[in-house]
Structure 1
Amino acid sequence: MHKIEVTSRRTPRVVEQALCLNDFEPLAERRLPRAIFKYVSGHAEDGATHRRNLQSFAERSFIPNVLVDVSRTDATTRIFGVDYASPFGIAPMGFSRLVAPDCDVLFAQEAARAKLPFILSGASLTRLEEVRQAGATSWFQAYIPGDEARILPLVERVERAGFDTLVVTVDTAVHGQHELAARHGFRSPVRPTADLAWQGVTRPVWLWRVLLRSLLTRNAPHFENMDAERGPPVFSRTLVRDIGRRSSLSWAHIERLRQRWKGKLVLKGVMSAPDARMAEKIGVDGVIVSNHGGRQIDCAQGSLDLLERIADQVDRLTVMFDGGVRRGSDVLKAVKLGAQLVFVGRPFLLAAAAGDRVGVEHALSLMKDEIARTMALLGINRLDEFDAVPLIRNGRG
């Protein structure tokens, strides 16, 4: 098995330039080929849903309390019997090994070191067994096909590897239209072209540290975790056919999966209260309110606009969230509206692109610090004190 070495803990000067998560984007753009950067930072179609995700946070403001002793702030949260240091984690992201060396492994290790959750993506280019062994993550996200013969073997593989929380993405019946990435040369399957080759040459650090090292140590990158067996290479012409067939996935499949999977079961991509209630009815343990970061449907509401409605209409379901989170205050707004855990995706992938392991470490630290600082400035010590802090729509009083 490929050996993962822990790199130096000293923060490079380029990473120290990042004072917040948004600062990693221009740093990553300098290191990544244009096509890959546009894929990571991009969105579906015109980007309307992506913009709504961001705007929904800007439209809401807290009213803080003052003269409160906040000398002992504690952002600890407990999910599925596990205590985490702060109410956020790293969302699942595919193709990450094209951004930074062994990216999923370093996500797992840095999240564990920070006492935060990380969800390994089913679209990862690193075997789930390797990530599970190298890190401490127990969350795996799967793209379950609407094919009974393929579901059970995948579930058994995830179970054997030691994962105890299975996250099923349910908002990808078909692939979203990534026009921005395609215009800059990134398509799925990846098609080698002269333009892509030139983009790689103009990013020599990425070319050597990411692409060539990966090819030398692991051969061509494959989708390792779509099924029980190794999936197709990212360059395969039959990629969509091989990993697709999700358009027939239904509640009946989820019910049977619930009967088979003994660990915690979470549905990611739930955007309506009726769907959340159905998930609760059939015994699902949690949902992640999410529109896939605006990367699937481009005519949806911002995830935050639907969060409170969903959280208010379920009883036993653990409600989580992702979409548009860039600040610690964003995490706390989602918590105020009913999220018990908030996942953040692309900013951490951009941090990995900018500074590899120490980039991710720095990004996690920035977010933890922002959450603690914002809690103190709001006048609360613990997350269960949010009832005393109003959150209003700007201009509505």
Structure 2
Amino acid sequence: MSTLYDDPAPAPLSTADYADLARAELPPDVWDWLDGGAERERTMAANRAALDRIALTPRVLADVSTCDTSTHLLGRSFRSPVAVAPMAYQRLFHPAGETAVARAAAVAGIPHIVSTLTSTPLEDLTSTGADTWFQLYWLRDRSSVLRLIRRAEEAGCGALVVTVDVPVMGRRLRDLEHAFALPPHVRAVLLDAHSDRAHRGTAGVSAVAEHTAETFSSSVTWDDLAWLIGQTRLPVLVKGVLHPDDALRAAETGAAGVIVSNHGGRQLDGAVSTAEALPAVAAHLTAHGATDCLVLADSGVRHGSDVLSLLALGASAVLIGRPVLWGLAAAGEQGCADVLGLLCTEFRHAMTLAGCPDLDAVSRLRVSTAPCPPSLGAHP
């Protein structure tokens, strides 16, 4: 596999440049699995369009000679208010897969969230020194859920992230067109090692979606969440929340935080964008005294200025998804590190220009909505 550093072309200047490099490296079906969304991909486009419409009013005559981007989440200190989102089967994009991403997150000093569908053993990832959180999909067998929780605890994970917006996998037309299936060397190593359903390609069918349907439960309720919180000593974040009442109920059930997310536009097509849902969620929690409940956000983030916008809208931290995998496909661990470094540098630069010496100042920025130029929203 070539890397971007073998090529004399100019160094990437934006995450979109890494997307171009990744697309050149990956087979078309793998690229579409990474790049695609559900059905007509309206929500995926809405995520970008909503972020592009955000207008911040900068402050002036503030001493921004030093901008402090550090933050505290779940009792731990991090260099920036960003984290690597949980993403499945990362060995699809580079042989080092999740290991490369974990090492890059460790270098960046930010949380690394590992998917239930990791293609690398969990213990290999916590041993990298990354501050690892474990993302949990609810399996049909509750004893298997409990087994994953115990494994995450024993491996040294710092939190559980329970994804609640996948009762079934969204209908992703690009995957259906390719009859997408995993290659033999990529497996969900935390699940049934003998299952090959995700590897059996069938015309007009996503093998990965079929594997999800036979493995995940679609009958999870608030009672199940309460049971899970009672089973672990780890803080639990609930990922995939868009409605303010759901956020409040998660907090009342004992969740340490919520992640406002529409799964990057890969689940319900037509769901509200994250940037539109976030302010109401944050305000509702505050209005009901749930100020200890962390609010994080993801979906559509491509620039450091997007991180600034989502923090100004009420998030405490922002998860980065596809751009990390673009870096992984382009140049392995170094590509991941470069993407994370670029986003953190862009964020610090945006803070400086907004007149914000620290994250408290970011939270006080005035936010409005500007018209979205027709050219925006079309880029990766």
Calculate the TM-score normalised by the size of structure 2.
Answer: 0.88
Q: Please give the alpha-carbon distance, in whole angstroms, between the structure 1 residues aligned to 2:52 and 2:20.
A: 21
Pair 1:121 & 2:152 matched:
no
Match of 2:375?
Answer: none
Q: Structure 2 residue aligned with 1:223, among 188, 201, 223?
A: 188
Q: Structure 2 residue aligned with 1:283, among 241, 254, 258?
A: 254
Q: Please give the alpha-carbon distance, in whole angstroms, between the structure 2 residues aligned to 1:245 and 1:27.
A: 34
Q: Please give the alpha-carbon distance, in whole angstroms, between the structure 2 residues aligned to 1:114 and 1:145.
A: 32
Match of 1:93?
Answer: 87
Match of 2:204?
Answer: none
Q: Please give the alpha-carbon distance, in whole angstroms, between the structure 2 residues aligned to 1:276 and 1:349.
A: 29
How far 1:91 sits from its partner (Å)? 0.4
Q: 2:199 aligns to what SS in structure 1?
A: coil
Pair 1:148 & 2:109 matched:
no
Is the 8 Å Cα contact of residues 132 and 162 (structure 1) preserved in structure 2? yes
C-alpha distance after superposition, 1:196-230 (max 9, x if no partner)? xxxxxxxxxxxxxxx7xxxxxxx73221124xx53
Q: Given residue 261 of structure 1, which amino acid in structure 2 is its aligned partner?
A: T
Match of 1:3?
Answer: none
State the percentage of identical aligned residues.
Answer: 32
Q: Given residue 368 of structure 2, which amino acid in structure 1 is its aligned partner?
A: I
Q: CA 1:60–1:241 in 2, change beyond 3 Å: closer, same or farther?
A: closer
RMSD: 2.2
Q: Please give the alpha-carbon distance, in whole angstroms, between the structure 2 residues aligned to 1:15 and 1:349.
A: 21
Match of 2:215?
Answer: 244
Match of 1:372?
Answer: 348
Indicate the larger mover: 139-148 or 36-45.
139-148
Equivalent pairs, count: 357
Q: Please give the alpha-carbon distance, in whole angstroms, between the structure 1 residues aligned to 2:39 and 2:298.
A: 20
Is the 8 Å Cα contact of residues 138 and 216 (structure 2) preserved in structure 1? no
Indicate the larger mover: 12-21 or 233-242.
233-242
Q: Structure 2 residue aligned with 1:74, among 68, 78, 87?
A: 68
Q: Please give the alpha-carbon distance, in whole angstroms, between the structure 1 residues aligned to 2:100 and 2:108.
A: 12
Match of 2:51?
Answer: 57
Is the 8 Å Cα contact of residues 146 and 253 (structure 1) preserved in structure 2? no
How far 1:10 sits from its partner (Å)? 11
C-alpha distance after superposition, 1:300-337 (max 9, x if no partner)? 01011010110111112111000111111100111011
Q: 1:268 aligns to what SS in structure 2?
A: strand
Q: Please give the alpha-carbon distance, in whole angstroms, between the structure 2 residues aligned to 1:373 and 1:367.
A: 10
- Divergent runs of 4+, >6 A: none
Is the 8 Å Cα contact of residues 126 and 132 (structure 2) preserved in structure 1? yes
Match of 2:227?
Answer: 256
Q: CA 1:302–1:50 in 2, change beyond 3 Å: closer, same or farther?
A: same
Calculate the TM-score normalised by the size of structure 1.
Answer: 0.85
Q: Please give the alpha-carbon distance, in whole angstroms, between the structure 2 residues aligned to 1:125 and 1:97.
A: 6
Q: Given residue 193 of structure 2, which amino acid in structure 1 is its aligned partner?
A: R
**What pairs up with 1:317-396 in 2 under 5 angstroms?**
317-386=293-362, 388-394=364-370
Is the 8 Å Cα contact of residues 14 and 355 (structure 1) preserved in structure 2? no
Q: Given residue 38 of structure 1, which amino acid in structure 2 is its aligned partner?
A: D
**What pairs up with 1:292-303 in 2 under 5 angstroms?**
292-303=263-274
Indicate the larger mover: 162-171 or 235-244.
235-244
Q: CA 1:146–1:104 in 2, change beyond 3 Å: closer, same or farther?
A: same
Q: Please give the alpha-carbon distance, in whole angstroms, between the structure 1 residues aligned to 2:329 and 2:78.
A: 25
Is the 8 Å Cα contact of residues 308 and 347 (structure 2) preserved in structure 1? yes
Match of 1:232?
Answer: 195
